Amino acid sequence: MRESRNGLRPITAKQYNKELKGYLICFNQEGSLEDGIGLYAAIELEDGSVTQVDAYNVKFEDIK
C-alpha cells in the first residue's frame, strides 16, 4: 500500500491497456445531459506529468 503525498491519494489507473501509477488530483466531468456526460480523473504521474483518464479505470491504493 502506497502512502499519500502532499494530500494526494495514490492510485493505479488503466489507459489504452497500459497501467499508470500516480496520485489523484481531482475528478471532473465533461458534456451535458443531452450529449452525454463523461467522468474523468486528473492524475499526476510518478514522473511529475499530468494526464486525464476515465474515472472508472481508477483504483485507490491507500485502501486496505
What is the residue range of 23's domain? Answer: 9-60
* Residue 1 counted as domain residue: no
Residue 2, pLDDT score: 66
Residue 4, pLDDT score: 67
Residue 1, pLDDT score: 53
* Residue 4 counted as domain residue: no
* Residue 24 counted as domain residue: yes
What one-character DSSP code corresponds to residue 55? G
Which residues does the chain have with pLDDT short of 70? 1-4
The number of domains in the chain is 1
CATH number at residue 31: 2.40.10
Mean pLDDT of the chain: 90
Please state, in angstroms and as integers, the Cα–Cα distance from residue 56 to each residue in 15, 27, 31, 45, 48, following that order.
11, 11, 17, 17, 22
